[in-house]
Amino acid sequence: MSRFAAPVQSERGPGPGQGRRPQAHISSALLRVRPGREQAVMRRVLSIPGCAVALVQEGRLVVLIRSENRSATATTLATLTRLADVEATSLLYEQVE
């Protein structure tokens, strides 16, 4: 075996006493906002922990969301939906590492 080979992990997860690695959930969402209110919504989004704005363009924002689990992602998505001047929110992508 090469000294650079990665250790083999069971599909059932870590064995006894090994603990679980924390998961990272990375998602993106499209926010449709009132025209002309993009900058105001962007400031609100940036105040939400785990959120970053990847793109602002003509009534749309693409928001990156980093969280620890699906429940936190869903909570953040609900928070984004309730922001003032947001007309619609769609989950675009989700990855669990």
pLDDT band at 5 (very low <50, low <70, confident <90, very high): very low
Residues 6+ apart with CB under 8 A from 19: none
Vertex 73: Cα angle to 38 and 95 (nearest 5): 100
pLDDT the model gives residue 42 = 98
Q: Which domains does the chain have, with CATH numbers?
A: 25-96 (3.30.70.920)
pLDDT the model gives residue 7 = 41
pLDDT band at 6 (very low <50, low <70, confident <90, very high): very low
E strand or H helix at 39: helix 38-46
* Span 63-85, pLDDT tens digits: 999 999 999 999 999 999 999 99
pLDDT the model gives residue 50 = 96
Vertex 71: Cα angle to 31 and 34 (nearest 5): 15
- pLDDT greater than 60 at residue 1: no
What whole-number distance in Å separates Cα of residue 95 and Cα of residue 83? 24
* Span 7-34, pLDDT tens digits: 444 344 454 545 566 788 999 999 999 9
